[in-house]
Amino acid sequence: MYQFNVYRIGPEIKLGAVDISFTNASLFMVISSLAILIIFNLGAKKKTLIPDKLQLLSELSYSFVAKMISDTAGSKAKPYFSFIFSLFMFVLFCNMFGMIPYAFTVTSHIIVTFVLAAFIFIGVTIIGFMKHGLGYLKLFVPSGVPIVLLPLIVVIEIISYLSRPISLSVRLFANMMAGHTMMKVFGGFVISLGIVGGWLPLSFSVALTGLEILVAFLQAYVFAILTCIYLNDALNLHH
Amino acid sequence: MLKKIVILLFVTCFACFNTVFAAESGGMPQLNPEFWISQIFWLIITFGTLFIILTKVILPKISDNLETRKSQILENIETADKQKEESQKKIDEYEKIILDSKLKAKSYFNEAREKILDDINKKRTALEKDLDEEISEVEKELSDLKNKSGEKINKIAAETSAELIKELIGEEVNSSSIAAIVEDQSKIIRERKDV
């Protein structure tokens, strides 16, 4: 599991008692953010009627995310477009950079995904209470449920609501970690079976790489679309 | 045989797992809280910067691009429609002009034909008239000549016969009697001819 190790790069930085040193995880966060900024800045720079490749890429991703938001959360979610766009791009680029051999996968660390998910959870809850006041609590009381079942349903709803950040963060973290671990295991098989039997796990490894790239995209998409769904719950209260 | 292969495969797999994970201990590095604060700190910094720059600088540009493209395309479609209409109008006009000119050409042609036919008829009638006149004149002359020629021939015949008789006999014969004979002869000849 060496690939998931976090280690310090450069000197130890301390803010009071806490260690905020620059690590390989920080390095890949910076690289991902810079890559996003560079690609999209180049894509947005030229204003031609017929876009070139980078412009097309940035405009397609823009309309992709815009469509995703309007499909799941409606037109009220437009002010949150830039946040969801940054979130999707950040997770996607972190996942994709993790696919490069010897690179560090930022999203394979539970703390990173949990902070993102917790931020989304808290933000969505605040938005919900700001929009609907205490009426937001109606989210836990679905309409059309018999009164006898209501206490049970409310408890289940509250538990499911509170487990949202956990499920959201664990889904991304576990998917990324499992994929990389599986690749590592098959890579280990290639070494231990040697030149005689190593071909089979090697071909598996190749196939898994394709699968992992798919998963990297899919998990970023799932992360973003679940954020949209939570946002939809907060904006349009109908259960 | 198959069983043996399966068992062998399991054993090798187990051995592989052992060798792969033998060197690693201490559980998942993800659960080691040593760098948690650092990761959170850098996540907030990088994601915050990314979010702010995307929101303030890049996304407005992209949406601006998309909007201008949309409006420009709509505008272009509008102008294209307008131009299409105009060209349709021009085509209609052109066709009308062509039709008009065709009709005009036809009428000109007809007029010219009628004129020419008229002219021809006039000239023909005039010519026929002239011809008729001339023919009648000539016929008159001919009939005159015909009428006169009989008398003349008779006269000449009478004179020549009188001279011939004079030569033959040596004396003058009454010219009137000769003329009467010639008249009789010519009458007989004419009758023969007629028959």
pLDDT tens digit sequence for B76-101 = 999 999 999 999 999 999 999 999 99
Average pLDDT across chain B, whole number: 84
Cross-chain Cβ contact B62/A18 below 8 Å: no
The beta-carbon neighbor of B42 closest among A25, A41, A173 is A25
Domain spans, chain B: 56-194
Distances A69 to A82, A228, B2, B156 between C-alpha atoms, Å: 11, 6, 54, 141
Domain spans, chain A: 2-235
ipTM: 0.90
Tell whether B66 lies on the interface with A, counting CB pairs under 8 A.
yes
Cross-chain Cβ contact B65/A185 below 8 Å: no
How many interchain CB pairs under 8 A, A with B? 143
pLDDT tens digit sequence for A7-65 = 888 888 888 888 888 999 999 999 999 999 999 999 888 777 788 888 899 999 999 99
- Coil, strand, or helix at residue A18? strand
Half-sphere exposure at residue B66, Cβ-oriented, CA atoms within 13 angstroms: 17
Which residues of chain A does B17 touch, with a Cβ-Cβ cutoff of 8 Å? 185
Tell me the shortest Cα–Cα distance from A30 to chain B, in angstroms: 6
Tell me the shortest Cα–Cα distance from A64 to chain B, in angstroms: 12
The beta-carbon neighbor of B58 closest among A5, A40, A197 is A40
Residue of A nearest to B42 (CA): A26
Q: Who contacts A109 (Cβ-Cβ below 8 Å, separation ≥6)? A: A4, A6, A25, A173, B30, B39
Question: Which B positions 40-59 lie with beta carbon below 8 A of chain A?
Answer: 40-44, 46-47, 49-51, 53-55, 57-59
- Pick B3 or B86 by higher pLDDT: B86
Q: How much is the CA Rg of chain A, to the nearest whole Å?
A: 21
